[in-house]
Amino acid sequence: MATARGDVTEIDVPFHEAGGGVVSTPAEIARILRVLLRGGFLPDRLRTEMLRAVESDWEETDRYGLGIGQITALMGRQRSACGAAWGHLGFSIGYTTIALSSEYGERQVVICANGVDLDTDAFWDAAGQLAWRLYCM
């Protein structure tokens, strides 16, 4: 079976201007979350405002702040055994990223997956088990 490969960094998906517009590594995403939640980018009052979340009707978050979600169950399925995380789930054509951090940046987990069928319960069950196991260590 042949595998197609190509550079997708220039992909233009109009409905994901922000969601698909960053090329980064899991380590870089974890570092940004750590610095952000430790107060390295924002003064305390703005960090507090960012985390002042409201109830969300999105499947991927329980509550949503300013550009960051409070998550206790990935896609409403696998629940965290150690409390809520802050972060974001990003997905577009052919990839997904799960980026989670503790509220004060003590721990992070970032999972990136390419070429998976995001609409399957099996994917979200497996991703949730892995993410929460790593997050709660």
pLDDT for position 49 = 97
pLDDT for position 101 = 97
Q: Which residues partner with 69 through β-bridges?
A: 64, 87
Q: Which two tokens stand for residue 106?
A: 């003590």
pLDDT for position 23 = 72
Mean pLDDT by runs of 10 across the 137 residues of the chain is 58 55 84 95 96 93 94 91 93 83 96 78 90 94
Q: Which residues partner with 117 through β-bridges?
A: none
Find all residues with CB under 8 Å of 94, minimum gap 6, and list them. Answer: 8, 114, 115
The three-class DSSP label of residue 92 is strand
Q: Which two tokens stand for residue 33?
A: 């979350």
Q: Which residues partner with 64 through β-bridges?
A: 54, 69
pLDDT for position 14 = 53
| Topology given in CATH for the domain delimited by 24-135 | Beta-lactamase (3.40.710)
Domain range list for the chain: 24-135
